[in-house]
Amino acid sequence: MCTGFYVSGGALDSRLNQFKGKMELSLETFSRELSGIRAGRASTALLEPIKVEAYGSLMPMNQVGVISSPDPRMLVVSVWDKGLVKSVEKAIRESGINLNPSTDGQTVRVPIPPLSNERRQELAKLAAKYAEDAKVAVRNIRRDAMNFVKQLEKNDEISEDEMHKLSDSVQELTDEFAKKIDALSAAKQKDIMQI
């Protein structure tokens, strides 16, 4: 596995590490997207991106209450302000994730129904689409890095041998991130298809 770039100078090292940082951000984004895909079990990540109308603005769910999962088929939002309970319930109902919350005092209970086989296949396809999007993002970053390296060689800032070594390092890094994306995708698809 590639742990860094072959470099000939500090400024070059810094610039190439920026490309690596961009690949890491693409991987983090992909990981966040996967956490939002429901796999039939309750996950607090399912409700976290939902925005609630509170105090005249839209706020993330975790800023109006505590989200917990007391069992694999239930999510619970303990709302801090009793006046926001109806807003939380409405936000969950209108979020498009097909959940039917119920209110009990300052607590909003969200039962998680089991997934049908068709829905599992749709979610697995969605996870695969997210994986492909993440790979495209990594390949675009690789293209930018390769263009940068070629431009350095063209400007006689590095030798042709250094250009080939840097290009190999960029490709190794790209392959490493592609493998990580594949591993995350495979694990999520397995999780989705598990009954």
pTM of the full structure: 0.66
SS3 label, residue 27: helix
Structural domains present in the chain: 10-35+117-193 (1.10.132.20), 44-111 (3.30.1360.40)
Mean pLDDT, contiguous 10-residue spans, the chain (195 residues): 45 82 93 76 77 88 89 88 90 81 90 81 86 95 93 88 91 95 92 76
User: Are the C-beta atoms of residues 33 and 50 closer than 8 Å to each other?
Assistant: no
Query: In the structure encoding, which two tokens stand for residue 66, read together?
Result: 């505590």
Confidence (pLDDT) at 180: 96
Q: Given this model, what pLDDT does residue 86 score?
A: 92
pLDDT at 23: 94
| 71: nearest Cα among 45, 93, 42 | 42
First to last CA, the chain: 35
CA neighbor of 110 nearest in space, from 34, 43, 195, 193: 43
109 pairs with which residues across the strands?
A: 76, 102
Structure confidence at residue 34 (pLDDT): 83
How much is the pLDDT for 35?
79
Report CA dihedral (86, 91, 97, 100) to the nearest 10 degrees: 10
pLDDT value of position 6: 42
- Provide the pLDDT for residue 54: 87
Q: Measured between alpha carbons, how far is 176 from 70 in angstroms, rounded to an integer?
A: 37
